[in-house]
Amino acid sequence: QQPVQSPQAVILREGEDAVINCSSSKALYSVHWYRQKHGEAPVFLMILLKGGEQKGHEKISASFNEKKQQSSLYLTASQLSYSGTYFCGTLTGGSQGNLIFGKGTKLSVKP
């Protein structure tokens, strides 16, 4: 089951903050966040695991609410380089293989 992301798109000015949400109808084992720039491959940002472990980017933070099966990505003091499409990917159960991605959130940061 594909996770649902919101919003679908957001436009920011440099320095503004944004929150991207990801929710699943299934119990989550982990949530993976990626950013993709136009014409490029998705690049890893962060992993959040059930139980609180996190691994990822120094300047981007995220939360994982296991009970609500939701995750949020927080982009603070946005820079032009933050522009791109953000995807959340979810793993359910103990499987390491069924990494399913949402449809993405397109973030545009303007000067």
Q: Interface with other proteins by CB under 8 A: which residues?
A: 2, 29-30, 32, 40-44, 47, 49, 53, 55, 87, 89, 91, 96-104
SS3 82: helix
* CB of 2 or CB of 6, closer to other proteins: 2
Closest CA to 50 of 93, 99, 96: 93
Least Å from the CB of residue 101 to other proteins: 4
* CB of 40 or CB of 58, closer to other proteins: 40
Q: Is the dihedral of CA 85, 56, 78, 74 positive or negative?
A: positive
Least Å from the CB of residue 103 to other proteins: 4
Q: Which residue is it, tokens 């949402």?
A: 102
How are beta strands 43-49 and 9-13 bridged, if at all? unpaired
* CB of 16 or CB of 83, closer to other proteins: 83
Q: 97: Cβ–Cβ under 8 A, 6 or more apart, which residues? A: none
Least Å from the CB of residue 32 to other proteins: 6
Least Å from the CB of residue 64 to other proteins: 13
* CB of 94 or CB of 111, closer to other proteins: 94
Half-sphere exposure of 5 (CA within 13 A, CB side): 25
